Amino acid sequence: MEPSLAELAEDTHVHLLPQAGVEVVDRGDLVLVATGNSAMAVRIRLGDVEEAVAWVRAEAARRAVRGLDWWVGWSATPSGLAERLLGLGLAPDPDEPTLAGMTCAAPPPAAPGVEIRRIETIEDQLAALEVDWEVWRHDEAERRRRAETERARFDPAGHVHHFAAYADGRPVGFGRAVDMDAGVALLGGAVLPAYRNRGVYRALVRARWEHAAARGTPLLVVQAGHMSEPVLRGLGFERHGVLHLFADPLTGV
């Protein structure tokens, strides 16, 4: 059975097509998605909560990831899961404690006059990612770690695509898209503060819509943070529910 729009919005990472450097482990009651830097538990349908937390922590420690999150969607079970995770030492994610699962099945508005380029080289990709890293205020050590990961995962013929907005001769906005069978997921995007309210974010969304339409899957899926959700609502995205994110500081890594 094809997943519904709400299922795509809630469990986006489960429905992404394969990506270089990303391991997906489905144990039935949850899915663990791991990269070189981080891991997350998603599509959570638990029986034994304590056993599942212990298993996820062990898997994260075995992979030596630096960050571990649980993404508790609106269909997660059992009831009261959030409180039980807090009782086991997890805490609301300090950066984005909640995300809104959203989809867009009609063309979002364009932003004429904004220069958007699809990125083809790792050098251009890293230059565009500096926008994201500047917005999130990552220090130089973190930027180096992220750059190493991006180089290792770079796969221009794969299912991950990057777009950049340019102004004054440099990247001022960045957006990532990852293909799904039924559409395209927006996984990351940022605009430098000095270039906001100029249509840059809107242009990046529209570029990824055009990519989705060109591959025959005219649908955008996003799990939006507090800054992007109201903007996406204004671009025609429908909100299906809220995910609560919990960070686990007890992985031993």
Instruction: List, for residues 18-71, the tens digit of each pLDDT value.
Output: 999 999 999 999 999 999 789 999 999 999 999 999 999 999 999 999 899 999
State whether 61 and 143 are in the same domain: no
pLDDT score, position 152 = 86
pLDDT score, position 153 = 85
Residue found by looking up tokens 């009831």 in the block: 79
State whether 138 and 85 are in the same domain: no
Q: pLDDT over 90 for what percent of the chain?
A: 87
State whether 73 and 120 are in the same domain: no
Domain assignment present for residue 225? The answer is: no
Res 162 pLDDT > 50: yes
Res 158 pLDDT > 50: yes
pLDDT score, position 212 = 98
pLDDT score, position 201 = 97
**What is the count of structural domains for the chain?**
2
State whether 57 and 14 are in the same domain: yes
pLDDT in tens, 68-100: 999 999 999 999 999 999 999 999 999 899 999
State whether 120 and 94 are in the same domain: no
Q: pLDDT over 70 for what percent of the chain?
A: 98
Band (pLDDT 50/70/90 cuts) for residue 156 is confident
State whether 11 and 72 are in the same domain: yes
Q: Which domain holds residue 214?
A: 115-218
pLDDT score, position 157 = 81
State whether 126 and 72 are in the same domain: no
Residue found by looking up tokens 């790792």 in the block: 122
Domain assignment present for residue 17? The answer is: yes
The type of residue at 163 is F
Q: Is the pTM for the entire model greater than 0.85?
A: yes
Res 230 pLDDT > 60: yes
Domain assignment present for residue 28? The answer is: yes
Res 252 pLDDT > 70: no
> How many whole angstroms separate alpha carbon 56 and alpha carbon 251?
9
Domain assignment present for residue 109? The answer is: no
Domain assignment present for residue 110? The answer is: no
Band (pLDDT 50/70/90 cuts) for residue 251 is low
The residues, ordered by sequence, that sit 6+ positions from 189 with a Cβ below 8 Å of its Cβ are: 132, 173, 174, 175, 176, 201, 204, 205, 228
Distance separating the N- and C-terminal Cα atoms of the chain: 39
Mean pLDDT of the chain, nearest integer: 95
